[in-house]
Structure 1
């Protein structure tokens, strides 16, 4: 992600990397600790289990 763009300041670069990790990457990456589902899918499962309990 960072190799394909140029940033005007370190702060802008840090923000772009943060957004990439938190908004795009973590929501799509499958986590082995979560039985190979995405964090969004896991969160939905938790909410559904709370609603049905």
Structure 2
């Protein structure tokens, strides 16, 4: 958790100083989280965004459900 908070402060808060209102912090945080999860390329998972990797993982591991008719 500490490294995540460190990244957040280093990549978002410090470069955008001064953030004067709570609304500015909230908007900046929402934009950062969106970027962090959906556009940031992560080297440990094949240089794809985490959300894409997660989607691919579940698509490859989910077994089709078998239905029966009576």
TM (norm. structure 2) is 0.53
User: Where do 1:37-48 residues align within 5 Å?
Assistant: 37-48=48-59
Runs of 4+ off more than 2 Å: none
Greater RCO between the two (CA within 8 Å, min separation 6)? Answer: 1
| Structure with the greater alpha carbon radius of gyration | 2
Question: Secondary structure at the residue paired with 2:62?
Answer: helix
RMSD: 2.4
TM (norm. structure 1) is 0.65
Larger strand percent: 1
Larger helix percent: 1
Aligned length: 48
